[in-house]
Amino acid sequence: MPIYEYTADNNGCELCAARFDRLQKIADPALTTCPQCGNPVHRVISAPQVISGQAHTLKEGNIAKSGFTQYKRAGSGVYEKTVGKGPDFISDS
């Protein structure tokens, strides 16, 4: 679900005088009034955050920060640690 930004059409309360945001479904209608004071508001066009695929979650820094260990195949039945706190090698023997 996207996060939409709103701002007051004129002076409003502390919430709508500055920009505020709401997590809404795409199909939900845009807010027309401030949920706190009822002042008219409009949706502000802002830059989206776009993440393509899962590449951002597979970076070694993210894996280690999340507490996981990553291994890469080093040979037949042998895996070598590339990042994390686990054992240096894993083998099937």
pLDDT in tens, 53-75: 776 667 777 888 888 898 989 88
Residue 40 lies in a domain: yes
Q: What is the pLDDT of residue 17?
A: 83
Residues 39, 59: one domain? no
Helix (H, G, I), strand (E, B) or coil at 74: strand
Residue 83 lies in a domain: yes
Pair type for strands 41-44 and 78-83: unpaired
Residues 32, 62: one domain? no
Residue 49 lies in a domain: no
Residue 92 lies in a domain: no
Residues 60, 83: one domain? yes
Residues 40, 13: one domain? yes
Q: Which residues does 1 contact at the CB level (< 8 Å), separation at least 6? A: 23, 24, 25, 26
Number of domains in the chain: 2
Would you say residue 47 has pLDDT above 80?
no
Residue 76 lies in a domain: yes
Residue 93 lies in a domain: no
pTM of the model: 0.50
Residue range of the domain that includes 59 = 55-87
Average pLDDT over residues 32-36: 89
Q: What is the pLDDT of residue 55?
A: 64
Q: What is the pLDDT of residue 57?
A: 66
The dihedral through the CA atoms of 53, 58, 61, 66 has a sign that is: positive
Residue 33 lies in a domain: yes
Would you say residue 43 has pLDDT above 80?
yes
> 71-91, pLDDT tens digit by residue?
989 888 899 998 888 899 998
Q: What is the pLDDT of residue 78?
A: 92
Residue 50 lies in a domain: no
